[in-house]
Amino acid sequence: MTATPAPVHAGIRSQALPLLVAGCFFMENLDATIVTTAVPSIARDLGVTAASVGITITAYVMTVAVLIPLSGWLADRFGTRRVLLIAIALFTIASLACAASPELPVLIAARVAQGIGGALMVPVGRMTVLRTTEKKDLVRAIAVLTWPALAAPIVAPLIGGLLTTYLSWHWIFLVNLPLGVIGFVVGLRILPRRDAAGTDRPTVAPDWLGLTLTSLGIAAIVWATTLVTAARVDVLQAVLFGAVGVALLAFAIRHLLRAPRPFVELRLLRIRSYGVAVGGGSVYRLAISAIPFVLPLLFQRAFGWTPVEAGAAVLFLFAGNLGIKPTTTWMLRTAGFQRVMIASHLVGAACLLAMTLFRPSTPFLVIALVLVISGAARSAGFTAYNTITYADIEPTHMTGANVLDATVQQLAVGFGVALGAVSITVGLALAPGGEETGVFAYDIAFVTLAAVLLLAAIPACRLPASTGGELVRGKA
């Protein structure tokens, strides 16, 4: 006979549940970026190129992206309590597998398993809080849930650097074990049971065909990227897998545009402001998201800095991100969404080109200044795109718009890291001889990202200047 846990006081649960879910969010967000400063150490230990280790980040982020739309169906079908507990357990066990990985393919597989756990923890955890929190406590609960997304990217590079320098890269994954165990035990105690069977809401079968085509297409492209960035490049296999991946994604898009209930609603992209925010915004995010991956590699591989020094330097990027936050509403109200977005692209591209001038002899004050400005442009761009996304979305389409936006944002981050890794590999292949060879490879990566950022500004240029004005009119 199974013992039933003693009931938890409703007031305690209302405070503890958001904290538990916030802890899950923190783990998921932390592991998306904590690997960046440990990449050179992982590469040395596993005997692979540093660029190829970037696939561990891509595989994790893209797994989260693809499975986010499935999480709602799983929660309704099996209950939020059961799914969230399984997600925490899977994420924790997969973290242990990551730390114990003897070679890169095993690490990639473990990261995919981590991504599955993360994809279920984030939306199902949020859903649990929203379903069980009273309206009077909702604002406070949402505030608790937002801090991991702000804090994790800022502290991850430094935490990764500290753990890698003073312990080993394995600890960037082992640190999840106590957090996961605590989260699972607390979850057993406080997660509500009333929807455990998922019988209180009708369940609609997910779009398995669309999900399968998309997953296989992304997996093929990720593997092609792995082959390109390997120590011994297999061009034929890389081209083959890349072509298969593109073909599968083309079939997936065709299906998603025709299916009555697709797992992501691509038809919403026909709404102009939403199409620009999700389409152009995702390319913007792709280029910007590669920077925290490329910079630590430059600092460690080309400059000879320690992981701690590299992680601390990247903090200036996120310092600019947070520092400009209080002024973004004023900028949007004064200049308008279109001008802020275009300026973010131009300033971001200029900063990337300035990074091509970084050398070991460059004063750190100059490097820090460029990173702060780049972070500020990044923050303004993200705020503009995220705010305008739902400007013209009807309430009936809000759920589908949210799922598509969340999925595309995650995919953009994954493809951004992959683009950074491939660009570095190409740069190494083209590099001339001499002591600046390593720096040249990163110059190629920065120029590539700057070009992508400028191309992504084209959709924003075509927006009417008045777009989104009603969203900030009258705000302080």
Question: Per-domain residue ranges for the chain?
Answer: 9-191, 207-262, 270-476
Rounded Cα distance, 425 and 231, in Å? 9
Q: What percent of the chain has pLDDT over 90?
A: 14
Rounded Cα distance, 262 and 251, in Å? 13
Rounded Cα distance, 447 and 202, in Å? 51
Under 8 Å between Cβ of 99 and 154: no
State the pLDDT at residue 206: 75
| Burial class, 160, CB count within 10 angstroms (exposed 0-12 / middle 13-18 / buried 19+) | buried
Count of CB atoms situated within 10 Å of the CB of 414: 29
Under 8 Å between Cβ of 255 and 209: yes
State the pLDDT at residue 476: 44
Rounded Cα distance, 50 and 44, in Å? 8
Amino acid at position 115, single letter: G
Please write the tens of the pLDDT for every residue from 202-232: 456 677 888 888 888 888 887 787 777 665 6
Are domains 9-191 and 270-476 of this chain identical in fold? yes
For CA atoms 52, 57, 62, 67, give the dihedral sign.
positive
Q: Which residue has the higher pLDDT, 325 or 42?
A: 42
State the pLDDT at residue 168: 87
Longest dimension (CA), the chain: 72
Under 8 Å between Cβ of 314 and 35: no
Mean pLDDT of 14-18: 66
Written as six digits, the tokens of 201 are 């809401």
Closest of 238, 295, 285, 318 to residue 424, by C-alpha? 295
Please write the tens of the pLDDT for every residue from 394-449: 777 766 777 777 778 778 887 888 888 888 888 887 776 644 457 888 999 999 99
Which CATH number is correct for 9-191, 1.10.238.10, 1.20.1250.20, 3.40.50.970, 3.90.76.10?
1.20.1250.20
State the pLDDT at residue 14: 55
Please write the tens of the pLDDT for every residue from 301-334: 888 888 888 888 888 887 887 788 778 778 888 8
State the pLDDT at residue 7: 47
Please write the tens of the pLDDT for every residue from 109-142: 999 899 888 888 776 776 666 666 665 555 566 5
Amino acid at position 293, single letter: F
- 3-state DSSP assignment of residue 264: coil
Classify domain 270-476 at the CATH topology level: Growth Hormone; Chain: A; (1.20.1250)
- 3-state DSSP assignment of residue 333: helix
Half-sphere exposure for 76 (CA within 13 Å, toward CB)? 11
Note if the pTM is more than 0.85. no
**pLDDT exceeds 50 at position 200:** no
Kind and range of the H or E element at 266?
A: none
Rounded Cα distance, 66 and 218, in Å? 9
Please write the tens of the pLDDT for every residue from 52-78: 787 888 788 778 877 877 777 777 777
Mean pLDDT of 260-265: 80
**pLDDT exceeds 70 at position 148:** no
Under 8 Å between Cβ of 427 and 301: no
Calculate the average pLDDT of the chain: 79
Measured CA distances, 32 to 55, 64, 67, 169, 358 (Å): 12, 10, 15, 15, 26
**pLDDT exceeds 90 at position 367:** yes
State the pLDDT at residue 2: 44
Which long-range contacts (C-beta less than 8 Å, at least 24 apart) are formed by 128-131? 128/17, 128/21, 128/75, 128/80, 128/81, 128/84, 128/191, 128/192, 129/17, 129/18, 129/21, 131/80, 131/195
Rounded Cα distance, 417 and 50, in Å? 12
